[in-house]
Amino acid sequence: HRSGRYVDASVDGAAAAQLRPFWPKPYYRIAVARLDLGHYPRSVAACRRGEALAASCGESTEPFLTLLNTISYTAMRNGSFAGFDGRTLEVRSAGEDAWMGGRAPKDPFLDGMNDEDIYDVAGKHSNGSAMDAKDLPDLARAVVDPAARANYEAERARRDGLIRDASNVPRSFRCLLDAVKAARDGDRIVLLRGIHNTMGETCDVDKRILIRGEGRMDEVTVDARSNTPVLRITASCAVQNLFFDMTGFRETLYIEGGAHVRPMFEHVRVKCSGDDTLNIAGAVQPLFVDCYFQARKNGVRTLGTSRTEMIRCRMTQCNHSGLKVMDNSSVTMRQSFVTDNDEDGIVAMDEADVTLVETQVHDNRGPGVDVSGAGRVVCRDG
């Protein structure tokens, strides 16, 4: 493998696995070789097999989890989401009342029923007496009559294709916060078209999950009204096709963690009425592709030793700077735009480093680029 003979490495790993089928290590080697060959789904499959074997024989699964993060990130950069091979969890829109912070309307077929729902569906006899289970409509009777529940659940699964997994986790949720809490590494969360919220709370994304909006970016909005970040990201996740519309006095998105935290954002628009849209801290290494930032303060602020890459992004109409790079952090922007901001376009201070590749900075009311301390800005054509 170290000599670049990835096919031979994969073959050797497969031979070792055949000789010792319950030994996890060959599957690690196979996964690495397939990763280097660009065979991402097959790399994930080998890694999953090795992870399962390691768990069954009492060995640590941490090497496989770390490798899965690497496979996921490498695949994402090359247009593949093979690293997210888990379940698909959907989140229903809260509709026009999303701004009030409520969940999506309850659907008995998706969410189950409680006593209040039974009353609403069943009602009472015309003489005012309560109905017996045998007199209830099929939906309500299935909840109170154990004999009818099995038939009801089977019919629901057959008709709607709605099933629960072995751990009894539902596949449909009434808000993003609930879906993220229920998700596990590798799951995909799909926000259906419409308006969503996080119940006024911060959604802690500490797992390798994909969060994406159905359809185009402008068809799914997360309407957040609070003084806490909408998402706090501490894992190598992916976020796609979403518009975050924040009303409050905190940043919309906050990313922090070590160098192993490498989230990716693609086709994401972020607004904030009272603060920055995005703060990046620690040693994280996020990637943004085709993203748009508009803020009451700074579009994007980076801190610590973070390493951020932006491709075809736009920071515009911010009341302070479009991009503020601080501490020992660095930002590389490619084919991007920093325009029409009320103060500086780009600020590099402390020991920060900014590299601009085919990037335009213009029509800002302050200096286009403001460098202070030991900060540095390098501009390149390509």
| pLDDT higher than threshold 90 for residue 262 | yes
pTM: 0.82
| pLDDT higher than threshold 90 for residue 104 | no
pLDDT digits (tens, 9 = 90+) for 273-299: 999 999 999 999 999 999 999 999 999
Which residue from 211, 210, 207 is spatially nearest to 185, judged by alpha carbons?
A: 207
Which residue from 38, 40, 12 is spatially nearest to 26, judged by alpha carbons?
A: 12
Q: How far apart are CA 71 and CA 48, in angstroms?
A: 12
Who wins on pLDDT, 34 or 115? 34
Kindly give, in sequence order, each residue whose CB lies less than 8 Å from that of residue 120, ignoring residues fewer than 6 positions away: none
Task: Say what the pLDDT of residue 17 is.
Answer: 78
Q: What integer is the mean pLDDT of 230-245?
A: 96
Q: Are 281 and 258 in contact (CB under 8 A)?
A: no
Task: Say what the pLDDT of residue 166 is.
Answer: 47
Q: What integer is the mean pLDDT of 235-255?
A: 95
Q: How far apart are CA 145 and CA 382, in angstroms?
A: 69
Beta strands in 216-368 (DSSP E): 220-225, 231-233, 238-247, 253-255, 264-272, 278-280, 287-289, 292-295, 300-302, 307-311, 314-316, 323-325, 330-334, 337-339, 346-348, 353-357, 360-362
| pLDDT higher than threshold 80 for residue 60 | yes
Locus of tokens 């097959």: 42
Task: Say what the pLDDT of residue 177 is.
Answer: 93
pLDDT digits (tens, 9 = 90+) for 310-333: 999 999 999 999 999 999 999 999
> For the stretch 162-194, what's the b/e string if a residue is b when 16 or more beta carbons lie within 10 angstroms of its beta carbon?
beeeeeeebbbbbbbbbbbebbebbbbbbbbeb
Of the segments 48-57, 81-90, 329-338, which one has the largest average pLDDT value?
329-338
Which residue from 341, 328, 335 is spatially nearest to 298, judged by alpha carbons?
A: 341
Q: How far apart are CA 84 and CA 210, in angstroms?
A: 7
Q: What is the average pLDDT value for the chain, to the nearest integer?
A: 85
Who wins on pLDDT, 239 or 56? 239
- Determine whether 198 is exposed, middle or buried from the number of CB atoms within 10 Å of its CB (0-12, 13-18, 19+): buried
pLDDT band of 112, cuts 50, 70, 90? low
Is 224 in a helix, a strand, or coil? Answer: strand
Pairing of the two strands 300-302 and 323-325: parallel
Q: Are 233 and 263 in contact (CB under 8 A)?
A: yes
Of the segments 4-8, 148-152, 286-290, which one has the largest average pLDDT value?
286-290
Task: Say what the pLDDT of residue 124 is.
Answer: 42
Q: What integer is the mean pLDDT of 15-36?
A: 86
pLDDT band of 230, cuts 50, 70, 90? very high
